[in-house]
């Protein structure tokens, strides 16, 4: 059983200018990666567009499984280019995504050396991946269950990588990889079986 996890609503809170202040009825949750570490995606949000960048997400679960709420999940998030999908609640998992192996060293897409656990599986033209950890999985299960109750969101969960042309009308939990084959998150190291059992 997953224990309660504290949601930090102050440490990485965004200003109103970094959000869409409109609200909407929530029927779905989108899970994606940060493609960054050390909460650097948040730090970039704060400085892009002279501090007015608003392609942001509601939540981040960091590498230690800590949950940060950046702004109210009642608001619309402009995280995606496709405006039709921006009414979903967005949860980002701190993960660098795919890796490249060179001379027995794994490099991130930023060409930095990756020293964490590596998951190997060929998928969407990549073979090596940064692995998610149990703390992150437990935290997202807790958060999904909380949002399900708070917003009456159905617990229908998409399979990773299954492309859905009708994703706009989908009610439940889905991954960024369900939108387009160009997206590689959530990556294959995700514990899909555990998430399916929520």
Output the pLDDT for position 15. 92
Instruction: With H, G, I as helix, E, B as strand and everything else as coil, classify residue 16.
Output: helix
**Pair type for strands 172-175 and 28-33:** parallel
Output the pLDDT for position 89. 97
Question: Which of 1-10, 80-89, 103-112, 159-168 is the most confident on average?
Answer: 103-112
List pLDDT tens digits, range 77-123.
899 987 778 889 999 999 999 999 999 999 999 999 999 999 999 99
DSSP 169-184: G--EEEEGGGT-TT--
Q: pLDDT-derived band of residue 197, with 50, 70 and 90 as boundaries?
A: confident
List pLDDT tens digits, range 176-190.
999 999 999 999 999
Compute the distance between CA of residue 153 and CA of residue 112 in angstroms, rounded to an integer.
38
Tell me the average pLDDT of the chain: 93
Per-residue pLDDT at 172 exceeds 70: yes
Q: The tokens of 37 are what?
A: 């570490």
Give the alpha-carbon dihedral of 63, 34, 28, 13, to 10 degrees: 80
Compute the distance between CA of residue 44 and CA of residue 56 in angstroms, rounded to an integer.
10
The pLDDT of 143-154, averaged and rounded, is 96
> 7-97+131-196 adopts what CATH topology?
Lysozyme-like (3.40.80)
Output the pLDDT for position 73. 96
Q: pLDDT-derived band of residue 1, with 50, 70 and 90 as boundaries?
A: low
Domain boundaries, the chain: 7-97+131-196
Compute the distance between CA of residue 49 and CA of residue 56 in angstroms, rounded to an integer.
12
DSSP 24-82: ----EEEEEE-S-STTHHHHHHHHGGGGT-----SEEE-TT--EEE-S-TTEEP--SS-
Per-residue pLDDT at 21 exceeds 90: no
Per-residue pLDDT at 126 exceeds 80: yes
* Higher pLDDT pick, 20 / 45: 45
Q: How far is CA 75 from the centre of its chain?
A: 17
- As a whole-number percent, the residues of the chain with pLDDT over 90 amount to 77
* Higher pLDDT pick, 94 / 196: 94
Output the pLDDT for position 105. 96
Q: The tokens of 49 are what?
A: 């567009």
Output the pLDDT for position 164. 82
Per-residue pLDDT at 2 exceeds 80: no
């Amino acid at each position: 059983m997953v224990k309660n996890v504290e949601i930090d609503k102050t440490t990485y809170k965004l200003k109103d200018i970094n959000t869409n202040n409109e609200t909407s009825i929530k029927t779905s949750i989108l899970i994606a990666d940060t493609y960054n570490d050390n909460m650097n995606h948040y730090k970039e949000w704060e400085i892009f567009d002279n501090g007015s960048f608003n392609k942001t997400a509601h939540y981040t679960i960091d590498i230690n499984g800590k949950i940060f709420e950046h702004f109210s999940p009642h608001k619309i998030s402009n995280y995606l280019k496709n405006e039709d999908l921006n009414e979903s609640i967005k949860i980002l998992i701190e993960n660098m995504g795919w890796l490249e192996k060179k001379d027995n060293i794994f490099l991130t897409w930023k060409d930095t050396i990756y020293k964490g656990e590596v998951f190997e599986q060929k998928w969407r033209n990549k073979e090596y991946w940064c692995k998610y950890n149990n703390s992150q999985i437990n935290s997202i299960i807790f958060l999904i269950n909380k949002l399900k109750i708070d917003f009456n969101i159905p617990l229908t969960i998409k399979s990773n990588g299954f492309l859905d042309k009708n994703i706009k009308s989908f009610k439940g939990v889905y991954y960024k990889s369900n939108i387009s084959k160009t997206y590689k998150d959530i990556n294959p190291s995700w514990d899909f079986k555990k998430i399916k059992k929520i």
